[in-house]
Amino acid sequence: MSEGRSGLVWVTGAGGLIGNACLEVAASGGAPPGPRCVGDLGLCARGLTRPEIDLTDFDAVDRLFAAERPAGILHCAARSRSPACQADPAGARLQNVEVTRHLAGLAEAIPLVFLSTDLVFDGRRDGSTGGYREDDVVNPLSVYAETKVEAEALVRRNPRHAIVRTSLNFGRSPAGPGAFNEELAAAWRAGRTVDLFVDEFRCPIAALETARRLWALLATGRGGVFHLAGSERLSRHDIGRHVADDLRRSEPGLATPLRAGSLKDYSGAPRAPDTTLDCTHLTALLGESMPSFSAWLAARRRASAR
């Protein structure tokens, strides 16, 4: 952390899935009420939510930054719903690109970790079954992914700053359904059958696992590009089955109908068939392997049964 600054770390998007998970990880450090500190890292989380400050109000952000002088930023805020980005590209670029540009400028002398996505890749390499590395060529297929690529280019300008690409994250979003598991649960509670592709692959991970590693990366002060996702390559349909099994244990009797589909029969907007990530780089840096999604769910169930 930078000399002359406190250990206060801004967590943008604290009302969202991963931002909130970052606050939960901080709280688990056993800190007293007030700024939530992260174990022995000497870092304290300061969550920023939209009701408190609009990150597109750059003057207000400037004033808050000058007042609080944070020692680092975990930038999790984004417009991340792809349909909303497709419908309003200008709004998506304002929130995903221009906000990132402004924060990166303010954070010129301090570490910043920017959260990006596996969807910067098109998933269509010849002979590929995913496993994208950090230096592989990006080719976004949606407005959302395009804005992340643009924002990544801004973050890359500062060697202190890090880009973390992640995949589908499992967890709880305080501001409403945002995680893929929450969207599936909402559909099933509404009595709908969910259609999921058997030939579209991701590497899901729990948001709390992502958050722990974001804090650890920030503490290293290392910049660059890193991949952070689960170790398991799963189809959308397989992910749905895992989520359904997990949900039925907490809500016995809930119907969770799944229907298998294929990208071969799909005629909508372009979709990336396999954006699974190779996370060797971050695993080596942190000295900790990435979790298997199915094993993580099983461990969570065992812990709750004790």
Q: Which domains does the chain have, with CATH numbers?
A: 8-177+204-231+276-305 (3.40.50.720)
Residue 36 has a pLDDT of 47
Nearest-angstrom CA–CA distance, 67 and 48: 14
HEC-encoded secondary structure of the chain: CCCCCCCEEEEECCCCHHHHHHHHHHHCCCCCCCCEECCCCCCEEEEECCCCCCCCCHHHHHHHHHHHCCCEEEECCCCCCHHHHHHCHHHHHHHHHHHHHHHHHHCCCCCEEEEEEHHHCCCCCCCCCCCECCCCCCCCCCHHHHHHHHHHHHHCCCCCCEEEEECCEECCCCCCCCCHHHHHHHHHHCCCCEEEECCCEECCEEHHHHHHHHHHHHHHCCCEEEEECCCCCEEHHHHHHHHHHHHHHHCCCCCCCEEEECHHHCCCCCCCCECCECCHHHHHHHCCCCCCHHHHHHHHHHHHHC
How many angstroms from the chain centroid is the CA of residue 94? 19
Residue-level pLDDT, tens digit, the chain, 306 residues: 444 455 899 999 999 999 999 999 988 863 333 344 555 556 689 999 999 999 999 999 999 999 999 999 999 999 988 889 999 999 999 999 999 999 999 999 999 999 999 999 999 876 567 899 999 999 999 999 999 999 999 999 999 999 999 999 999 988 777 799 999 999 999 999 999 999 999 999 999 999 999 999 999 999 999 999 999 999 999 999 999 999 999 899 999 999 999 999 998 888 999 999 999 999 999 999 999 999 999 888 888 776
Q: What is the pTM of this model?
A: 0.92
Residue 31 has a pLDDT of 32
Residue 28 has a pLDDT of 80
162 with 213: CB under 8 angstroms?
A: no
Residue 269 has a pLDDT of 83
For residue 245, CA distances in Å to 100, 271, 296, 301 come to 38, 26, 13, 11
